[in-house]
Structure 1
């Protein structure tokens, strides 16, 4: 049987590199997070994000129609998504509210503070005034759920008799403020922390939670001092 031209040629197997479709958004979000933290929102260009992710700008726009949509997805995937898990843990937590608050601090550090996502907070503080649309999104996805969760924790402590009754609107800020300081100290240490001080995040968080739970006053001195200031 005569051979055909195709029979006489060596068999060549062409391997086409196929990227999983679902992998592309994740790669774009990783690249975007890096660039937003490095450069800020205004200075980050979508073409630079696409190039770092190894795709074209057109491919990026297939998944994220605008830079604001891309940034919002970065916020949601790196911070906003955590609140569902944390609220579920709140419902299942069996320990004291003091232990819950301590866990809250250390869980935030593990999943946000010690990661690149902590740079988003600094970005928002610096640029939110110039980009109100992303500021509103951040408020809905991060600030409001975060404050609501802390209120639930503090209210749990009040209801159980562990904590004294406090103004929750202000108490929430007392809980959040140390986390904000720690975030800023990582990304703008020269402005936030004296050069002679090295902040150890675990020790800092433990010190702050103890300050929140116990205050500065000696237990026996507290009532007298407070009464004299009334």
Structure 2
């Protein structure tokens, strides 16, 4: 009698012996955005990249190192080029503000990268080291860029004098609101209640600029006439 044949063994998932760091960072970005910092396991990052955990640790000794590399690759590393772009900007300061918010949405807000900011905002209390890192590598340099935009407008007489250290938060606030809306409320509500990001930013920019312009538009003539009649009563 012949021994019964055994069912074929399922082949093990093939793993490459090596991987470029960029592939690991792309896999890590996906998982950090999908699951957050605490819930992301380095084993899962290695598996998604198709390598062993040992291969990942050759490049990034810890999850914290991996997260920092992701932020430097996709966010912090791009800030110098944004400084160069705005240094060469030839339009008005108002146009620069509009361009800044529009490009923030196109390059960051509308992409998976926005999930990194959401991650830091929601988990930094439990991981203060990544909060300090993000502050130093992303927030401070980005704030410096926004500060330059405001100072440019004031120096050219296009914006009224304001405290730029606090004025930058007027630029940041619409971005943060839209980011939180995208990741918190938008997935849970119907299409008739959604916010159009581009229309929202245009509206917020117009409201912001009317508060920044050195010479605000004159009041509506009809409204002025109505107030004049009231003064006569």
Same fold flag (TM > 0.5): yes
**Cα separation, 2, equivalents of 1:79 and 1:193:** 29
Structure 1, residues 53-73: CA drift from partner, whole Å, max 9, x if none? Answer: 100000001111110010011
TM-score normalised by the chain length of structure 2? 0.81
Match of 1:91 in 2: 87
**Cα separation, 2, equivalents of 1:202 and 1:81:** 26
2:165 to 152, 169, 172: 169
C-alpha change, 1:32 and 1:83, in structure 2 (3 Å) is same
Query: What's the C-alpha RMSD, in Å, of the aligned pairs?
Result: 2.7
Match of 1:113 in 2: 109
**Cα separation, 2, equivalents of 1:51 and 1:20:** 12
TM-score normalised by the chain length of structure 1? 0.82
Q: How many residues align?
A: 205
Structure 1, residues 141-187: CA drift from partner, whole Å, max 9, x if none? Answer: 11101111000000000000000011212211110010011111111
Match of 1:71 in 2: 67
- Residue 25 of structure 1 pairs with residue 21 of structure 2: yes
**Preserved CA contact (<8 Å) 1:150 1:172:** yes
2:209 to 192, 209, 213: 213
Runs (5+) with no aligned partner, structure 1:
1-16, 222-230
Within 5 Å, give how 1:8-47 maps onto structure 2. 24-47=20-43
Runs (5+) with no aligned partner, structure 2:
1-13, 221-233
2:148 to 135, 148, 152: 152
C-alpha change, 1:215 and 1:193, in structure 2 (3 Å) is farther
